[in-house]
Structure 1
């Protein structure tokens, strides 16, 4: 499906832009006002005051008040000549407080009302005027009462039911239930406390809050929330890894990574966060998953119907850069629907999203030609489930995403000639620029289809079978003049991967208590991968003054190759006591790759194409993992684990850049041999009523890792060498009161490789190893329906890569602060997000790492930007 807007639609497009900008003008006034009065939030005035400053409505008078006895409690009736707005409700100790904005108490007996002991279980009712409205405080004797309020044409009523005191035992049981989170990223449902590895769970609430800040970029959300993940890059083709290793990304069980994932894939580009129920991340390798799961597994679970009735959810949103609003506007329209009918349930939805131009803290266009700027994304989701019986279920899932970037601006590569490191910038395409015979924009398409069958009791075991298909492609972009870097051509790249696969697993318990069980099964996938270079006429380009790009031919940059991955696994879990859990298993891996004869082309040299003889490579082996968790107390557990990873390196890199002496694919066995990684981890977790914390240390080693490193001239080279990575990760969350939440994460990692194999390890570059990263947040439920959150991200300094010659310059630290605010407005929710609240000028780690070699890659991060959305259910 294409979203091209042709010339015949120009008038409609201008009309849409005009309406969008008009709406933005109004919303930006509100956003700027919200930022300018943030100091007032720290004062003691009522949170509703600043809303009143914007609208300044006329207060409605309350002329009468009655307390009427009911069967279950009593009712407070306020008499007015007109209707009152809905009240906000909050709980303070044993008191429930209702705040009615735009109202004034005008009783004949005064402006304050009190009633002591109006009913059993209620000690006091107080009604009084406050700044901007009326406050009703109802205090229970042993517990907060339960209240229900309603507003009519000529009055307002509050039904009050005495509360029931909660015993300490009840509270402890309730809190314990809340922290027993279930994780499925280990291929079976198990509680967080039983997993001997570091785990992060991103809930639906977390996703909704972060979406306003990350421009619906799931990869940036993961980078912000997961310890050990590389810092946010803001790019479609950014570097994302865990603990310096590649990760396996699953969407409803379908792998989103391929053997050539790091070469041209962007599996999360265009994925709509509103379609996601939760994300589970298990860090470190294990024998349960194969593929690229050396750094860990990111398991993305899409939405399921929550209610039996038909539910529609609509979301409308706008966004804009605040440092320069020119072309910085964006918008979102999303419609989701779900429901159940008998044995059938379904969830579906469509989201259309446009991200405008981003500007840095100095008001300049962010000079990144691979960002999400000026990108239109379309996301469609359909989940249909049928319960064949009480224990059998059939599930069909389909998800399609498309991202299309259309921009009149391109990277200014001339800054590479200026001495020193320059900030990347964009320049407008000259008038009359034409791209003939090829895509004029950058496009990513991703299709996932899966069919699953599950049986909770198949001969005493739980069974899950799945068939899946995935297609991913990228195309288009502004052509690059390779002659600036020693080549002879003008080109861009397009690529595609098509994948078929199946997953079968059986969970067999060996006793009624299910304290001993075996998870076993197989995975198989077959990929077809290629990437082509599209070439343009250099003579016509030169004669036209650099205005006309006419496609002349297309040739294989990564020749089409087939890749298959077969895995047979078995994982035993044993709970010898209530406090002790042991698990361990093995996986047999068989990997095959084949390619036909092809010509290897060099884009950045004058060397002619080289004939390379095709062939196939095969590797197999066993990997193992073992782990244990011991509960030292009801709230404290320690874990230890050993896990191995086994995968082919990125063969696309090898095929497109074979060493000069190689003329046969079979002769590249030194480059193509599998990467085996051993990972060791120790950790401790604490889960109390108001505090949750974790601390873990890890070390992984490979005697033949595969890495891509910069040469001094800025070109890249493939390196097979021993490598080691180690680090520490910690998290803490604290709920000091019912309406306050605070938390922080900290991750530090370091890594080295021995390229010369002389036992002298040198530090990795900062593409692979990220600097120390810390996050923190403070969240307040200001009223029952209003929530505010401040969060920060700190990325530290790193000089080891530069000191050892693998980075071109030291990496500098930076700090960003974000604001999120959510207001419940009855049947809907308004969300406000302010990104980079204090407008810090910073350069992401990825930009700093490439800057010494290529100035146009040294892009600044986004300055202050605003997002506002309204979501309602009907």
Structure 2
């Protein structure tokens, strides 16, 4: 039940929020895009947030889009603490500070935490995004699923001018190692404008991939692969100003990205250093099942804003509805020979509908103390399941109702000291009907034993607190410290499908409370900007998989975890036309009950990135981007001379990308992008460390993008 703790003032760092890009706040003495961020569900300057935040600007998004249209690649290159790009449609293993992030579009969750299929990052085309805000560390401000932090895609807004404007872009992407069958095409467009009080924005993109090839010219393996993928995205945002203080806004997003191919996999063994790759095969040996990937996922949001609902207070009301259907690859592990199934293909279905009320009140107590109070109520219904395409039920329907209230505060003392304070109280009910576990066979003689499980309603009540402080007296050294909690019941579906008891009440489904600690500082020394943060997070319950040797099925093991690390960022304009940005991140973690290191599902190897931008003249810009992934070798082989599930050793590798653009007319721009400029032959970090079948796919070889953009 929702308790009356909203009247209590507790300490908090506001580490999540919904931000609307209708306003921009610039931080003091900085030429960076210090826009408002998702700090407290209201507009807030980034220098008032005592936490590590990465804001990716529209310019950075557009430059990376010229090299690679996948958001996983963009986020990996720019965000410290985010694991390296997986090179696929799945972000499994791409953790944020060792834990799963919650992906959102304008504050609406896109992840499916009740059954996390790790496809949340791929939910929107980059052409519809104005900026991306990444808030690191556990937070419960948006509810379940944000144990590692938040990745919030802030979509574009209609421009204020009444004259309609827009753009069209067309490009082709192909392998420079072996061009045959690799050429693909992409077209995108946008139009926006205003007619009196009515504003509109419409974006659309359509892309067809050819085959993707590694440095040797072989087609990449198909497991979560992107070869022969067709991606469509249609987004619209409509607004109407009732008066100067009140606005209604409607937005709709449709996203589909599915693979239809006549290829088949040739599987290698990562323990032997062998890659998996794809070749043309007879129909019987081609990739089986329905096309994999998001199948027409939809989001609808309606928002009402009143900037002066009463004295010094703004009100935002929003309601949203979402339908997700993510189709996974055909897997022989889902076989049941007794019933005639040689394998199976699963679908994660999720239907969410929610409503939120957010109040923002500002009070100046005197010339030295200003306070902001953010408070409200969130309601969410999430119905998620994971059936198989053939009709079998792998994960039964989970019907979650969540009701939460929160109070977040910010105190600015003498202009320089920022203190944040708040509390969130959440009540969650998850109803699961009686179900029967699925019989799965790795071979005719190695099968799980199905049995009936009595359903129940699981209740979770959680109160989470946060505290943060930042001191901005000197831009040469601006320190901060924070403590934040998050309540996480993510991936309860994995627990249900691997049940070993006959009553859901006996399954260890309780929520995990994550405690996150962070200290750091920002420093501006003349032209040099430097950021550093050290972090630690602990939880009494985690989610690690272990092989059941009797059934051959991987089962969750919930054990206490401790994760720690540090991050650094350097931003330096070498000259007026040459700018350097570099980051370094290190993360490590252990199962504290056994003092064993965590595998790569949670912990990524060290990561170093550098971006060098040169603008020798107006209209001409070039960027060189370097990604270095370091070694991580924490585990030994088992008695079968094999590494564990996600415990393979990672050898370091380097990838260099290039992009350039030239404005050759008032409205016309040409661009080129080259991914893996030096054609490095490597396995990505996940491919090296995962010993699951089919994940041992090499990285993309040299791939070129050529295109043009027209603006009007």
Please say whether Structure 1 and Structure 2 have the same fold, judged by a TM-score greater than 0.5.
yes
- What SS is found at the alignment partner of 2:389? strand
Q: 1:155 aligns to what? A: none
Structure 1 residues 173 and 528 mapped into 2: Cα distance closer, same or farther (>3 Å)?
A: closer
2-structure distance, mates of 1:451, 1:526: 16
C-alpha distance after superposition, 1:435-480 (max 9, x if no partner): 99x7356553211100001111111201111000011002374463
Is 2:379 aligned against 1:524? Answer: yes
Larger mean CA deviation between 631-640 and 522-531 belongs to 631-640
1:48-87 superposed matches below 5 A:
none
For residues 774 and 830 of structure 1, what CA distance do their matches in structure 2 show? 30
Change in Cα spacing, 1:448 to 1:802, as seen in structure 2 (3 Å) is farther
Greater helix fraction, Structure 1 or Structure 2: 1
Match of 1:197 among 35, 48, 51: 51
Query: 1:823, 1:229 → 2: CA distance?
Result: 31
In 1, Cα distance between the equivalents of 2:295 and 2:129? 20
Separation (CA, whole Å) in 2 of partners of 1:663 and 1:518: 47
CA shift, 1:500, in A, is 0.3
Mean CA deviation greater in 264-273 or 479-488: 479-488
> Aligned with 2:447: secondary structure?
coil
Task: Give the gaps of 5 or more residues in structure 2.
Answer: 1-25
Distance 1:486 1:844 in 2: 38
Query: Which residue does the alignment assign to 1:453?
Result: 304
Determine which structure has more spread, i.e. the larger CA radius of gyration.
Answer: 1
Q: CA offset at residue 234 of structure 1?
A: 1.7
CA RMSD of aligned residues (A): 2.5
**Does 1:188 find its partner at 2:42?**
yes
**What are structure 1's unaligned runs of at least 5 residues?**
1-171, 536-553
Q: How does 1:604-619 map to 2 (within 5 A)?
A: 604=441, 605-619=446-460
* Larger RCO: 1 or 2 (CA < 8 Å, sep 6+): 2
| Mapping of residues 595-744 of structure 1, within 5 Å | 595-604=432-441, 605-659=446-500, 662-668=501-507, 671-687=508-524, 690-709=527-546, 715-744=553-582
CA distance in 1, matches of 2:426, 2:292: 40
- Aligned residue for 1:343? 197
Query: Is the 1:185–1:299 contact (alpha carbons within 8 Å) kept by the matching residues of 2?
Result: no
Match among 665, 668, 677 for residue 837 of structure 1 = 677
Displacement, 1:562? Answer: 0.5
Q: Is 2:620 the counterpart of 1:782?
A: no
1:260 aligned counterpart, secondary structure:
helix
Tell me how far 1:643 sits from its aligned partner. Answer: 0.2
1:298–1:444 Cα change, 3 Å: same
Are the equivalent residues in 1 in contact too, given 2:408–2:421 (CA < 8 A)?
Answer: yes
In the other structure, the counterpart of 2:320 is 468
Partners of 2:228 and 2:220 lie apart in 1 by: 12
* Alpha-carbon spacing, 1:200–1:710, altered in 2? closer, same or farther (3 Å): farther
1:871 equivalent in structure 2: 709
Alpha carbons of structure 1 residues 802 and 726: separation in structure 2 relative to 1, 3 Å: farther
Residues 1:684 and 1:261: Cα distance change in structure 2 (over 3 Å): farther
Q: Structure 2 vs 1, CA of residues 803 and 183 (structure 1 numbering), >3 Å: closer, same or farther?
A: farther
| Shift, 1:236, TM fit | 1.5
Does the 8 Å CA contact 1:766/1:801 hold for their aligned counterparts? Answer: no
Q: Is the 8 A contact 1:649 1:673 kept in 2?
A: no
How many residues are aligned here?
670
Matches within 5 A, 1:802-817: 802=636, 807-817=646-656
- Superposed counterparts of 1:301-316, under 5 Å: 301-306=154-159, 307-316=161-170
CA displacement, residues 791-839 of structure 1 (integer Å, 9 cap, x when unaligned): 1001110012448975543111110000111111221211110000000
Q: Per the alignment, in what secondary structure is the counterpart of residue 689 of structure 2?
A: helix
CA separation in 2, counterparts of 1:433 and 1:743?
Answer: 47
2:346 is matched with which residue? Answer: 493
Write the deviation string for residues 550-570 of structure 1: whole angstroms up to 9, x where unpaired.
xxxx11111112112222110
Segments of 4+ moved more than 6 angstroms: 432-436, 484-488, 711-714
d(CA) in 1 for partners of 2:429 and 2:151?
25
Secondary structure, counterpart of 1:503 in structure 2: strand
CA deviation after TM superposition for structure 1 residue 707, in Å: 2.6
8 A Cα contact 2:265 2:287, kept in partner: no
What is the match of residue 427 of structure 1? 279
- Once residues 472 and 303 of structure 1 are traced to their aligned partners in structure 2, the CA distance between those partners, rounded to angstroms, is 22
The answer to whether 1:405 aligns with 2:259 is yes
Distance 1:710 1:241, change over 3 A: farther
Per-residue deviation, 1:302: 0.8
Is 1:563–2:403 an aligned residue pair? no
Greater CA drift, 463-472 or 239-248: 239-248
Distance of aligned partners of 1:697 and 1:607 in 2 relative to their CA distance in 1, 3 Å threshold: closer
- Note if 1:580 corresponds to 2:417: yes
Query: Which residue pairs with 2:662 in the alignment?
Result: 823
Partner residue, 1:846: 686
Work out the CA distance in 2 between the residues paired with 1:475 and 1:345.
36
Give how far 1:265 is off.
5.0
Aligned 8 A contact 1:291 1:565 in 2: no
Q: Is the 8 A contact 1:286 1:624 kept in 2?
A: no
Task: State the distance in 1 between where 2:687 and 2:257 align.
Answer: 23
Call closer, same or farther: CA 1:441–1:658 in 2, change over 3 Å. closer
Deviation per CA, 1:521-541, whole angstroms, max 9, x where unpaired? 111211111111234xxxxxx
Q: For 1:594 and 1:639, locate their aligned partners in 2 and report how far apart those are by CA, in whole Å.
A: 41
**TM-score for the superposition, normalised by structure 1:** 0.73
The alpha carbon displacement at 1:420 in A equals 2.5
Cα drift, residue 326 of structure 1: 1.5
State TM-score, norm by structure 2: 0.89
